[in-house]
Amino acid sequence: MISISEWQKIGVGTTGFGIFFILFGILLYFDSVLLAFGNLLFLTGLLLIIGLRKTFSFFFQRHKLKGTSFFLGGVVIVLLRWPLLGMLLETYGFLSLFKGFFPVVFGFLGNASDIPFLSVLFRRLQGTSSMV
């Protein structure tokens, strides 16, 4: 069993609240205050969960600098009260940062729950074109 420190527990809660505020800000037609608060909570929670050094080493790897610049640039744009443009930049940066992680998630969900859509999507992401 993995032991989780108190700071990591606080980080999970902070990240959860950040995601909640981001989704709530999107539901309220891109409310800039809620989106900015959600961004700050999400990034703070991420720092608390994995630590300062690991966070910086993840975001500032040479091959991830483009995604990092779009993501953090989007956060800054949201803080400057341009929520739609900021969220578009953040979304592109997020997808660019985590593009290697999505096939793993879809493969796990496709195999664990036997959902046909996810299984087909996983096969397409892997490069095989056979359909079920």
What pLDDT band is residue 128 in, cutting at 50, 70 and 90?
A: low
The pLDDT of residue 1: 75
What pLDDT band is residue 113 in, cutting at 50, 70 and 90?
A: low
- Chain mean position to CA 126: 21
Q: What does the alpha-carbon distance between residue 45 and residue 65 come to, in Å, rounded to a whole number?
A: 21
DSSP secondary structure letters along 87-98: HHHHHHHHHHHT
DSSP state of 19: H
Using CA atoms, how far residue 43 sits from 48, 71, 94, 127, in Å, is: 9, 11, 12, 33
Tens digit of each residue's pLDDT (9 = 90 or more) over 33-89: 999 999 999 999 999 999 999 999 999 999 999 999 999 999 999 999 999 999 999
Identify the sign of the CA torsion 111, 114, 117, 119: positive
Its pTM stands at 0.78
Q: What are the b/e assignments for 37-74, b being 16+ CB within 10 Å?
A: bbbbbbbbbbbbbeeeeeeeeebeeeebeebbebbbbb
Residue type, 13: G
Tens digit of each residue's pLDDT (9 = 90 or more) over 18-29: 999 999 999 999
